[in-house]
Structure 1
Amino acid sequence: MKESRIVIPREHGGWAMLAVPYMIGTMAVQPILLHVPLFLAWLLLYLASYPLLQALKKGSRQRSWIRWGIGYGAAAVIMLIPVVLQEPWLFGYAPVLLLFIMVNIWHVLRKKERALFNDICAILLFCTGGAAAYMLGGGGLDAGLAAVVLLNFLYFTGTALFVKSVFRERKNRRYTYYSKAYHAVILLVPFLLGYPWLTLAFLFPLARALVLSGKVIKPMKVGILEIAGAVQFLVLAIIFLHM
């Protein structure tokens, strides 16, 4: 990577986890103007996290990573200022985010970034974006907030299991079983939450898991499947959370 090239994360799953929970949280209530700078701050914090975590690995580009991370972080703070001035309660999310970030740092320092527990913590971190968007739009600590967080968490945890079953854990037959069983069981959750039609949003991931878990698949195809799955989940969640 050249020194002048813009530093951005390349993981399809990371971009989906950044945007989808936030958009679902926003559309589950009343979108307002402050949702825009809050999302931009959320985006910039995500962009900052990538080079700063890379810097922990040291190497010849460490100073460059740090500069990019500080730059993105400073821009995120600027975007946050108008939001927190009007909604100071958002500072309450800081300890939660810090906790999940510390877990991520711990795994990076031990070169275990791909551990399932680290993935789960990262998913929970991204789900806080959906929670913040929901509460910013007038939602409270209610069933709607629980649905936004839980449904996003369940969807992306299933994605993490599927991806592991076709890449790093492809030869581990247990992950193939975990992926298929997990996607079948979570079909019950929308019924339990009172959103039965949202079961439709989990049918595509179930079909993907049943047909492809444990198979040899090209990364490009997995990326396309991730994007397609995230888009259909986003659209159906926005529609059926209002029913």
Structure 2
Amino acid sequence: MKALIPKQHGAWAMLLIPFLLGMVKGGPVIWHIPLFLGWLFLYLAVYPVTLALKKNQSKPYQKWMCYYGFPACCFLMISVFHKPPLIWVGVSLLPLFLIHMYFARRKKERALLNDVAGVLFFCSGGFASCWLGMGTLDGWAWFIFLQSALFFIGSSFYVKSVIRERKNRTFAYWSWGYHLLLPFLSALFGAGWAFLAFIPSSLRAWFFHGRDWPVKTIGILEIVNACFFLAVMCLFITR
């Protein structure tokens, strides 16, 4: 039986990088294992729900909702049992999940607003990971959440501007404007010298737009850019 796996490759970076940053800053603990597994299965569980809404038929996807949803609940319950305040992170995700379901039902899951909601959803994993590792909630959890959100919102802008919206000049202007402000926004939210993590994002948004590159090439460049962001942020938060 072939597993039903999400096809949005960029989402895997959003799943992993904020969580890793939170774990690096907070310090790895054994409780990160069930939290990450729950986070992973939750992401996998959302995919069949999305397909069921999009195609208006739930029966073909019910088994996958159970296969992924049950372990997600079990692992996340272990994390919440260890640290009950984490339940509020889950509560805060509900509006973002409902936004995603709305766009999936209307078959517009590629809408920018839905992408932003997805980015905030994923970046909350870094928030929870940092909180769990540090034991207390402080500014670092918010820092990781905000910096990750700024980066991945930029990635959403760029990928759309060179693929689905490549002929939309207005969208290109929005992307260029966002990336012009991106390093300054990062510094405003406390990045200090780590604003350098956003410079490649801004440069590729300005200079790579309009190039007729295959989707695979664009994806590889995004992976390299995400790894650079991760490396710089790790250096900054562990200094």
Q: TM-score, normalised by structure 1?
A: 0.92
1:135-176 Cα shifts (integer Å, max 9, x gaps): 101254432122111100100000000011011111111222
Match of 1:130 in 2: 126
Match of 1:149 in 2: 145
Counterpart CA distance in 1 for 2:54 and 2:112 is 20
Counterpart CA distance in 1 for 2:142 and 2:82 is 24
Please tell me whether residue 12 in structure 1 is matched to residue 2 in structure 2.
Answer: no
Is the Cα contact below 8 Å between 2:150 and 2:186 reproduced in 1? Answer: no
Identity value in percent: 39
Letter in 2 for 1:92: W
1:20-64 Cα shifts (integer Å, max 9, x gaps): 11111111222211011100110000011101110112367x423
Among 12, 33, 36, the alignment partner of 2:33 is 36
Q: TM-score, normalised by structure 2?
A: 0.94
Please tell me whether residue 170 in structure 1 is matched to residue 185 in structure 2.
Answer: no
Please tell me whether residue 187 in structure 1 is matched to residue 183 in structure 2.
Answer: yes
Is the Cα contact below 8 Å between 1:170 and 1:214 reproduced in 2? Answer: yes
Counterpart CA distance in 1 for 2:135 and 2:158 is 32
Counterpart CA distance in 2 for 1:141 and 1:135 is 5
Letter in 1 for 2:20: M
Counterpart CA distance in 1 for 2:137 and 2:209 is 36
Please tell me whether residue 99 in structure 1 is matched to residue 95 in structure 2.
Answer: yes
Among 78, 85, 89, the alignment partner of 1:82 is 78
For structure 1, list consecutive stretches of 5 or more residues without a partner in the other structure. none
Letter in 2 for 1:38: L
Moved more, 34-43 or 226-235: 226-235
Report the RMSD for the aligned CA atoms in angstroms: 1.6
Counterpart CA distance in 2 for 1:156 and 1:91 is 25
Counterpart CA distance in 1 for 2:222 and 2:9 is 7
Is the Cα contact below 8 Å between 1:134 and 1:145 reproduced in 2? Answer: yes
Among 183, 187, 196, the alignment partner of 1:200 is 196
Count of residue pairs the alignment pairs up: 239
- Would you identify which runs of 4 or more consecutive aligned residues in structure 1 move more than 6 Å? none
Is the Cα contact below 8 Å between 1:24 and 1:130 reproduced in 2? Answer: yes
1:176-220 Cα shifts (integer Å, max 9, x gaps): 222222112111134333332212211211121111124332110
Counterpart CA distance in 2 for 1:119 and 1:194 is 24
Q: Name the SS for the 2:54 alignment partner.
A: coil
Letter in 2 for 1:212: F
Counterpart CA distance in 1 for 2:60 and 2:120 is 29
Letter in 2 for 1:27: V
Counterpart CA distance in 2 for 1:139 and 1:173 is 47
Counterpart CA distance in 1 for 2:89 and 2:162 is 34
Is the Cα contact below 8 Å between 1:127 and 1:149 reproduced in 2? Answer: yes
